[in-house]
Amino acid sequence: MASPSLLRSSAGGWPAFYPHRSERRRSLILTVSVATGEEFNRPEPLRPSVPKRRHRGQERRVALERIEILFRLAEQEAIQRRADRARRYVDLARRIGMRYNVRMPAALKRRFCKSCHTYFVPSLNARVRVGRGHLVITCTACGAVQRLPYRREQAAARAARRPPR
């Protein structure tokens, strides 16, 4: 029989006893063949000493793409009156944005309730009013109110209507 340091632990893949770290790297796993019943030693796989490099830019691009896909799915589900599924998609999109530190585009931020994460479909689960320089969106599910200023949009529209000098 092999020494206790060569036997595989019941908790995981590493041997059960290591008095020193250097012994872990040189350790072998005792393996018993089921067919013949003979024992043989197999070297234990080593973990890489250097962690894999993260490609943050690529991760963020993929995360933003996933967020947009989830919002499209949320819109489809909300139109079909499956509010629970639409809410789940919005919640997943928010979590992906937080995990990968991606800012959600402003157009997508305005499409859901900040308190209950309901995807807004005007007249179905949101009341939209315009007045006094604000767009007021009221969630009919929880009653939360969002006030979005639109003075810049008004100024841009006026500038576009003005004749050039």
86/136 same-domain check? yes
Full-model pTM: 0.62
Calpha distance 71→77 (Å, rounded): 10
Mean pLDDT for 7-28 is: 50
| pLDDT tens-digit readout, 39-58 | 666 655 666 667 778 888 99
- What is the pLDDT at residue 108? 95
82 found inside a domain: yes
Are residues 138 and 144 in contact, defined by beta-carbon separation less than 8 angstroms?
A: yes
Check: CB of residue 5 under 8 Å from CB of residue 27.
yes
d(C-alpha 13, C-alpha 3), whole Å: 17
**Range(s) of the domain holding residue 28:** 4-43
Does residue 65 share a domain with residue 113? Answer: yes
The total domain count for the chain is: 2
